[in-house]
Structure 1
Amino acid sequence: MTVHFIGAGPGAADLITVRGQRVLASAPVCLYAGSLVPASLLESCPPGARLIDTANLTLDEIVAEMVAAHAAGADVARLHSGDPSVFSAVAEQLRRLDAAGVPYRIVPGVPAFAAAAAALGREFTVPGVAQTVILTRTAERATAMPPGEDLATLGASRATMVLHLAVQRIEAVVADLVGNYGADCPVAVVARASRDDELILRGTLADIAAQVRDAGVRRTAVIVVGAALTASQFPDSHLYSAERCRPS
């Protein structure tokens, strides 16, 4: 048997990949985070599948379910919101499965930052404006950030920055970034990206905290900071230039 870690996407049930849905439809055991994964996705599970909501389980309890399924010869679909490559808590599960000798595979999904870019109708890497995207978070009530990954240090590049798990600390985020980006730097907060109740707030570092507070946004949101959000005067990409497409 195999444990399949599946990126379930940012929230909309139809943003799971074809591969992810195919694996989900064939696995007799499904572990999912009920607070983040849309319930309608579970309709793809086969009849009689064992469905386990991991929202209130410890890491050891979650891994024990996988190991038990392995012992019974049952494949497992492990649904994670977004994409497993970032802020998914997959790494510690993989480490324990390695120790237990349980095989696994990872099926990528649509990450929250990509869904946010789509909702905003923007590209985060604009020619001549921003060619780097920093994905990060803050450390309050979470694992401490490694040295050198504080917002003031990361913000020195003025690259497009996407912050996960940070909207509850929006005032502190603004305070850490305003020195590098400036108070007039464009900011967007996208809550529940791709869902029916998606909410988009647009502003600057000077006013975004008040908007977030007034809207009551407390979770399931990403903060996007950078000039790419509003850039309109920039050179065309070399990708489709006449020089590249019709070389002399």
Structure 2
Amino acid sequence: MVYFIGAGPGNVDLITVKGRDILSKADIVIYAGSLVSSEHLKFCKVGVEIYNSASMNLEEVIHVMKKADKEKKLVVRLHTGDPSIYGAIKEQMDELDKLNIEYKVIPGVSSFAAAASAIKKEFTLPNVSQTVILTRVEGRTPVPEGEKLENLAQIGASMAIFLSISIIDKVVEKLRKGYGRNVPIAVIEKATWEDQRVITGTLDDISQKVKKANITRCAQILVGDFINCEYDKSKLYDKNFSHMFRK
């Protein structure tokens, strides 16, 4: 059996209870060492085989899984955040399907949620935004034409931008085209890690602040009015609003 497990955004205790329980029983762990804290490995049993996928290609990862399956060993593929978001797990699962190797996916806390917690904000505010867009700027990996950042920004939804901090000037340029105005923006480097850093600003000044702080990787970019705005209170706790659990 192979388990794809989300290790969470950084803090070692943000893995799920289920994820850690399976990790503690694993015979083999393949973890994304460039992003996942090695502290997770302290919960592994004695004698576990550890592989750092940062230096491995897809074929090498699958080879380890295939060999483990023949030996009836339990494999944990430990991904950062939640594996369904920029986790490149589809290509791994497709290969396992070809080999008739059974696998399961255990979700984790994504960095976009961790980033929102770091700045103590809510993405979905009444009369502000009820939509959250998770996206990235094109780099070596392209994005579909309809998903260009400037197009998405026109919607006015709350946004979490992954894998784009190294080209912050390009991000700001595209956001400015889409929003057509100055909007709040926050950059959270290494959300929930001990050395987490938070920078807040607007499209007018965030690029300069990020460069001054020398933030070039492992950062989430949050954009939208939800960061700093007036909003309507929720009907959920409105004393004048009834629902099936409260009259």
% identical aligned pairs: 42
Equivalent of residue 231 in structure 2, options 230, 234, 240: 234
Task: Describe the shift of the 1:113–1:38 C-alpha distance in structure 2 as closer, same or farther (beyond 3 A).
Answer: same
The answer to whether the 8 Å contact 1:124/1:133 transfers is: yes
Letter paired with 2:100:
G
- How does 1:218-233 map onto structure 2 within 5 Å? 218-231=216-229, 233=230
Please report the TM-score for the alignment, with normalisation by the length of structure 2.
Answer: 0.96
Letter paired with 1:97:
L
Letter paired with 1:239:
L
**Distance of 2:181 and 2:122 partners within structure 1:** 22
Task: Give 5+ residue unaligned stretches, structure 2.
Answer: none
Letter paired with 2:134:
L
Look up the match of 2:123. Answer: 124
1:167 corresponds to 2:165: yes
Q: Give the total of aligned pairs.
A: 244
Query: In terms of mean alpha carbon deviation, does 234-243 or 206-215 score higher?
Result: 234-243
Measured on the aligned residues, the alpha-carbon RMSD in Å equals 1.0
**Distance of 2:238 and 2:199 partners within structure 1:** 34
Look up the match of 1:181. Answer: 179
- How does 1:95-110 map onto structure 2 within 5 Å? 95-110=94-109
Look up the match of 2:23. Answer: 24
The answer to whether the 8 Å contact 1:181/1:226 transfers is: no
**Distance of 2:235 and 2:150 partners within structure 1:** 32
- How does 1:23-172 map onto structure 2 within 5 Å? 23-141=22-140, 143-172=141-170
The answer to whether the 8 Å contact 1:130/1:228 transfers is: yes
The answer to whether the 8 Å contact 2:4/2:104 transfers is: yes
Letter paired with 2:164:
A
> How far 1:183 sits from its partner (Å)?
4.4
> How far 1:236 sits from its partner (Å)?
1.1
Letter paired with 1:15:
L
Look up the match of 2:189. Answer: 191
> How far 1:244 sits from its partner (Å)?
2.0
The answer to whether the 8 Å contact 2:185/2:223 transfers is: yes
> How far 1:179 sits from its partner (Å)?
2.3
> How far 1:229 sits from its partner (Å)?
0.5
